[in-house]
Every structure is written in structure tokens, then in C-alpha cells.
């Protein structure tokens, strides 16, 4: 594939893996980041070594205006948008302590929805006709939408909303030649685990024992799914939630 892929949350973890994978597949890459400008520039340097173009753009995915500005600036610098990968979590260093589903204030659910669902809607809307005739929409979520994970309710709810809306996008945008899918990861070994677990090492060991393939997921595992969904091989795949968790959800 060729053209521009806009990837949010691309300065680290899964987003960085996605940016690097799409670059290897021939996409130019707009590296969306929230605060880690040095890390984002490092991704740009890595990506451009693949022989494609890339640039970093600051974005607050909780803000529709910021999402639209990201797309506009990326288009101006790198050309028409051919893929939108909505990956950013919508929280950073200011992430609140999340307790039980009923203990979390409604405002936190609304903030998570803005960062996940609001960002997806704003990014796709801003990309507009650039995506016609072969464009790709991919949202990154997790298997936390399908099970009860302590302290995860607002995140899971926002991701579940994204999965639902992606199916609507697939149905409504198919006539324009656009596919829309969700890449659903299990537990992925990135620094973000420290933001959702008080004991990441214990969590990873529990996941390893419960996973048929015998290990915890890596960023590249989920990035490969995103790469597939953004490739010509996925021309006939739309409206799907593709799970990559080593079989963990089977148990």
C-alpha cells in the first residue's frame, strides 16, 4: 500500500509498533503524540529509514478540534490520508485512579469516551473523501471489552463503544470503498501496563500461564494485525473485530 497513514498514540508501545509496521508496508506515516515529543521524533527517524516520509504531530485526542488539526496538518505536510489508525488511550500522566465501575465518576467515563470514540469520529470525519476507494479505518481496542477487569470499566466501556461504531462505519462507508475494522489485543507487554496494573509483573505471569501460546503479547503482534487490515490482503474484510491474544480469551 502507499499513501498516508495517520496513527495516534504512536510515540510508544502499540502505536509505535503500528507506525513502524505501516512504514515497512509502504505507507507514509503521521506520528500522532500527546506529550512525548522526543519519543515521537525518534519514531519519525526510525520510520524514515524505511524509505517513506514521516512527521510528528501533537494531538489531544480528547479534543475534536485537535484531532481535526492533526489530520489537516498531516495532509498538508504528507498528502492525502489513506488510513486512519485510532490507537491513543485518551489519558496520560493525569490518568485518574480507577476503582469499581460504580465508584468511578461519570466525568471519567465521558473523558474516556471522548478520547476513544470522539477521536475516532473526528479523525475519520476530518479525513473525509481522502479515504474513498480503498481507504482504511482501524481502531485498536482490547479483550477487556469482553471480560471484567478490575479498575478497567471506563476504558472497556469506551473501547466497546468504538467497536460498535466501527461496525456502523463499515456498513455506512462501504459504498465509498472504505473498510473499517478493529484490532483487538490481549495483554500486551508495554510500559502502559504500569498504568492499568499495580503489579505488571504478576499480571504478565498470570497471562502467560493462561495463554495457550505460552507468552504475553508484544506490540508487534497487534501491529501485524493492523498492518494486515491496512493492506490489499484485507480488501474483503470490513466490520470485524480481529482478536490477537495468543488464545488467552479461549480460557
Q: Please determine, for residue 197, whether its predicted confidence score (pLDDT) is greater than 80.
A: no
Q: What is the mean pLDDT of residues 214-243?
A: 96
Q: What is the mean pLDDT of residues 162-180?
A: 98
Provide the pLDDT for residue 247: 93
CATH 3.90.79.10 fits 4-250, yes or no: no
Provide the pLDDT for residue 88: 86
Between CA 105 and CA 55, with CA 185 as vertex, the angle to 5 degrees is 90
Query: pTM for the complete prediction?
Result: 0.93
Which residues lie below 8 Å from residue 221, measured CB to CB, with a gap of 6+? 185, 188, 244, 246
Per-residue pLDDT tens for 9-26?
Answer: 999 999 999 999 999 999
Look at residue 154 and give its three-state secondary structure.
helix
Per-residue pLDDT tens for 101-154?
Answer: 999 899 999 999 999 999 999 999 999 999 999 999 999 999 989 888 887 899
Ramachandran region, residue 157 (left: φ > 0; alpha: ψ -120 to 50; beta: rest): alpha
Q: Order of strands, edge to edge, in the sheet holding 54-58?
A: 54-58, 28-33, 4-7, 81-86, 136-142, 179-185, 241-244
pLDDT band at 213 (very low <50, low <70, confident <90, very high): very high
Contact 225, 244 (CB under 8 A): yes
Domain ranges, ordered by start, for the chain: 4-250
Amino acid at each position: 500500500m502507499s499513501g498516508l497513514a495517520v496513527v495516534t498514540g504512536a510515540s510508544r508501545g502499540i502505536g509505535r509498533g503500528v507506525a513502524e509496521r505501516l512504514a515497512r508496508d509502504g505507507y507514509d506515516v503521521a506520528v500522532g503524540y500527546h506529550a512525548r515529543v522526543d519519543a515521537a521524533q525518534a519514531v519519525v527517524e526510525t520510520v524514515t529509514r524505511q524509505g517513506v516520509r514521516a512527521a510528528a504531530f501533537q494531538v489531544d485526542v480528547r479534543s475534536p478540534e485537535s484531532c481535526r488539526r492533526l489530520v489537516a496538518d498531516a495532509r498538508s505536510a504528507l498528502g492525502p490520508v489513506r488510513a486512519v489508525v485510532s490507537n491513543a488511550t485518551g489519558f496520560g500522566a493525569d490518568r485518574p485512579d480507577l476503582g469499581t465501575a460504580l465508584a468511578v465518576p461519570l466525568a471519567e467515563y465521558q473523558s474516556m469516551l471522548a478520547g476513544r470514540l470522539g477521536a475516532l469520529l473526528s479523525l475519520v470525519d476530518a479525513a473525509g473523501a481522502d479515504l474513498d476507494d480503498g481507504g482504511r479505518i482501524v481502531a485498536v481496542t482490547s479483550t477487556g471489552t469482553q471480560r471484567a477487569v478490575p479498575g478497567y470499566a471506563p476504558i472497556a466501556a469506551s473501547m466497546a463503544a468504538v467497536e460498535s461504531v466501527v461496525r456502523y462505519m463499515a456498513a455506512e462507508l462501504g459504498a465509498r470503498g472504505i473498510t473499517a475494522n478493529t484490532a483487538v489485543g490481549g495483554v500486551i507487554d508495554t510500559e502502559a501496563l504500569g498504568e492499568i496494573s499495580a503489579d505488571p509483573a504478576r499480571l504478565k505471569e498470570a497471562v502467560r500461564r493462561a495463554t495457550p501460546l505460552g507468552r504475553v503479547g508484544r506490540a508487534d503482534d497487534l501491529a501485524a494485525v493492523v498492518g494486515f487490515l491496512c493492506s490489499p490482503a484485507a480488501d474483503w474484510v470490513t466490520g470485524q473485530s480481529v482478536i490477537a491474544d495468543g488464545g488467552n480469551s479461549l480460557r
